Amino acid sequence: MNSTATDVKPKTTEQVRADARQRVIANARKPAKRTSPKLPKARPPKVPVLDSATISTPLVPAFSRQTQAKFGLAVQALKAKGRSLNQRLLICHFHLKSDPVLSAIRPEELLKEIQNK
């Protein structure tokens, strides 16, 4: 009697499980493959430590007289009487934006600082 591919008996559930166990055991013995090379950890850049012994100049730059005058006008505009809050903020904004050093200051923040003092 000739055997053909259709004569092969299917595996039982126990045989399938045993084969799976053998594959798991065989794979566990193999070393793990790395998919990408191990990269060194990124470290933050070193920042010099500032202490009072190493500081010879002030950290805050000195403002020019023109910048001080513009800031004074901005503060004076916020303290002005007889104008609405919107008008005072608008005038302060105008004075702050006219100087590039002061242009990052928001009038609302300046008003909060003035009111907290």
pLDDT per residue over 65-104, tens digit each?
A: 899 999 999 999 999 999 999 999 999 999 999 988 888 9
Q: What is the pLDDT of residues 4-23, one digit of tens each?
A: 656 677 888 999 899 988 88
Domain count, the chain: 1
Contact yes or no for 103/70 (Cβ under 8 A): no
Domain that holds residue 92: 65-116
Four-CA torsion 93, 94, 99, 101, nearest 10 degrees: 0
**Does residue 56 sit within a domain?**
no
Contact yes or no for 71/102 (Cβ under 8 A): yes
pTM greater than 0.85: no
Per-residue model confidence (pLDDT) at position 86: 94
How far is Cα 52 from Cα 16, in angstroms, rounded to an integer? 75
How far is Cα 2 from Cα 95, in angstroms, rounded to an integer? 103
DSSP sequence for 46-63: P-PPP-TTT--S-SSPPP
**Does residue 55 sit within a domain?**
no
